[in-house]
Amino acid sequence: MARYTCSFILSVPIDQLQPLLIELLQDCNLDVQYYTSDYIMAREFLGYVSFSKLVTVEVLIDKSTATETETRMSIVIKNEELPLQRDNHCRQIFEYVKQAIEDGRHWHLIESIAG
């Protein structure tokens, strides 16, 4: 199973972050299937890649440490594909979503730590 994670600190009010992230994930051609105020789950649409390569994106918003100007969040991007190559499909989607978050025009990126 391929799995990639990244943590971010963004300068954005917490009440604005969740709808902005949903829009960002949809702009990345992901289907947002479930969300709450501190969690979002999105998947790739069926039909573009084989079932084992379908990527799931989970966003976890840390409400316990959020301030009026800073919010921490983490993403987990995974699929059932064995990561036999460094540049696999899951890694490509991870890099694409990570870059979209880092370049987001609705917030200022303070920190990004890939794991």
pLDDT at 84: 80
C-alpha closest to that of 33 among 15, 52, 46: 46
CB 24 within 8 A of CB 101: yes
> Domains of the chain, with CATH numbers?
2-114 (3.30.310.80)
Q: Is the pLDDT of residue 60 over 80?
A: yes
> Cα–Cα distance between 66 and 62 in angstroms, integer?
7
* Tens of pLDDT, residues 39-59: 999 999 988 888 889 999 999
